[in-house]
Amino acid sequence: MLYLIGLGLADEADITVKGLEVVKRAERVYLEAYTSILHVGKDKLESFYGRPIIIADREMVESSSDEILQDADKVDVAFLVVGDPFGATTHTDLVLRAQELSIPTKSIPNASILNAIGATGLQLYNFGQTVSIVFFTDTWKPASFYDRIRENASIGLHTLLLLDIKVKEQSLENMARGRKIYEPPRYMTVAQCAQQLLEIEQDKQEGVCSADSLAIGCARVGADDQTFACGTLEELSESDLGPPLHSVVLVGKRAHELEKDYLKGFAINQDTFEASWKKYHTRP
């Protein structure tokens, strides 16, 4: 059996009992290590699980899946995913490849950012489409996310923004020369995200991501030191919420007064919070 096991969001203890039982008996244990990260390293996971772990980077998962699936029809193989196996980044492609080889599969769910974001106090059924924000470069500033945010905003829904991470990435020069030299890991911050949103808004001028739009910066959701900061995009563009991982929520116009009361506790500035709420979120 191939098991896809969710690890939750923070550390080694977030795995479910069911998932841990599988890990302890599996022939091989892989850790998917390119779509997200835990707040602890491989050594701590191995100590807690009592098993050696094979790091599965993007190249292995996308190009060398045969190695992961080898003999999985005869023995148990565990594929560990930060968050939920089918959460923010799905792994249906690996399951489909297993099925083509007549390998049985089973997934063991866990918390993901998609449901843990409820810790902001926003009601999950008031969220619209989730979008990803990638690092801009001098020559590449994709803005397709803007349309999704606008669609959510048009019906008053919140938008969860998942921020880019770069793990084991090559520079264009090293890639062109075929050199296996990798750049240091990079994780987008709330401030960087807010700056990019404001930059695109300057081009679009549609009022979707205005400087006084209300948003929530979220850091290390699910960990003991999780942090939330609620303010305007301008305020968040100058914020520092500490180490990764970060995400952002744009607050929709349909926000309830109970949501407002909860968000007040995270407000960077009570006056600007009230002004933005009155402008964008007070119902007639």
Binding site per annotation, positions: 9, 84, 87, 112-113, 163, 221, 246
Task: Give the annotated binding-site residues for S-adenosyl-L-methionine.
Answer: 9, 84, 87, 112-113, 163, 221, 246
* Phi/psi of residue 2, nearest 5 degrees: -95, 120
The answer to whether the bond into 245 is cis (omega within 30° of 0) is: yes
Alpha-carbon span 194 to 118, nearest angstrom: 21
Strand 186-187 versus strand 214-219 pairing type: unpaired
* H-type alpha helices, 57-137: 58-63, 65-69, 92-100, 113-116
Q: 242: how many CB neighbours lie within 10 A of its CB?
A: 12
3 state SS of 149: helix
* Phi/psi of residue 217, nearest 5 degrees: -85, 130
In angstroms, what CA-CA distances link 168 with 14, 44, 116, 126, 257?
25, 21, 27, 36, 44
Alpha-carbon span 221 to 116, nearest angstrom: 7
Polymer length of the chain = 284
